[in-house]
Every structure is written in C-alpha cells, then in structure tokens.
Amino acid sequence: MTLSIRDAVPDDAATIVRFITELAIYERAKHEMKADESMIRSTLFGDCPHAHALIALQDDQPVGLAVYFFNYSTWLGHRGLYVEDVFVTSSARGQGAGLALMKALARIAVDNHCPRFDWQVLDWNQPAIDFYDAIGAEARREWLSYRLEGEALRQFAGSGATHHD
C-alpha cells in the first residue's frame, strides 16, 4: 500500500464534492451542504482562491481530503492556518491517511511561518477527538463557536451602522 498527499487540482472538483458530501452525511448535516463542482472550481481554483485543498491517495486512488486557508491572529500578529475539513473515506480510516494529511498541514503551517494551526471537531465525534489527542493537539474547551448565517446574517448586516471604505 502506497500512501501519498498532493495538492488538489481543478480536475479533483468532483472528488472533492463527493468527499464533502460523505463528510456532511457522517456529520449528520447533509441538509446544510450547498457546494457543487462549479463552486469548488471557482473558490478553490479560480483567480483568487478562497482556500486550498490536499488529496490523500492510497495506491493512486483518492481516499482523503483536507481543506484549509490562512487566517490571522491579532494576539500573535501573524497569520495562522485554519483547517476547515479533514475527511478520510470509511474504507481507508485507520491506515494512516488522516495522519498523513495532518502532517502535511503541519508542514504547510511551518513552511509558511504560521505559529499555529487550528480546527474544530464536533463534540460527539469521539474517534476524531481521540485521534487529535493522540497527535498532541490541545482541545480549546474554553472557546465557543458562534455563527450568523442566512436570514439572521442578512438582517444583522442591514441594521445599524454601515461600513464605508
């Protein structure tokens, strides 16, 4: 068995959507998924990509995905790396693809002088939590995630003070 990690390319768009769909199903959130191939092509591979992706290959067959982007830490005064998603197909779990993806992400962070990289995990996803604990990651339990989306976002954006350039 040969395991490798490579940067995703535009021809991977269908595979990326398939993996995102599998992840959404696993995370019990398929109804929230809106991404399609054209969105993936434009946002990951367009003129100004919003994020980047890695593909894990086992014997030259795609078995995993990591999507990441660079964020910014005001406390550190430096950019960091944020992992949006890490996914390995059920048939390839436990064979090193997840570890290889996380190590590749760590190398990208180090190569880009990022002092840290962050991600989130659902509180019920014990296999992922155990994996992250095993690689030495620190759970940040004192932080809560917040989100504005959909109509609540539009209503909030339309109220009160406005921003002018």
pLDDT digits (tens, 9 = 90+) for 48-71: 999 999 999 999 999 999 999 999
% of the chain surpassing 70 pLDDT: 96
Stretch 70-90: mean pLDDT, rounded? Answer: 97
pLDDT band per the 50, 70, 90 thresholds, residue 21: very high
For 26-44, how does the pLDDT look when each residue is reduced to its tens digit (9 = 90+)?
A: 999 999 999 999 999 999 9
Please state, in angstroms and rounded to a whole number, the distance separating the CA atoms of residues 52 and 70.
9
Domains of the chain listed by start with CATH number: 3-157 (3.40.630.30)
Q: What is the mean pLDDT of residues 82-110?
A: 97
- Catalytic residue set: 132
Average pLDDT, the chain: 95
CB 54 within 8 A of CB 105: yes
CB 65 within 8 A of CB 58: no
Q: Which of 12, 17, 25, 19 is nearest to 92 (CA)?
A: 19
**148 neighbors 156 (Cβ within 8 angstroms):** yes
What is the average per-residue pLDDT within 118-130? Answer: 95
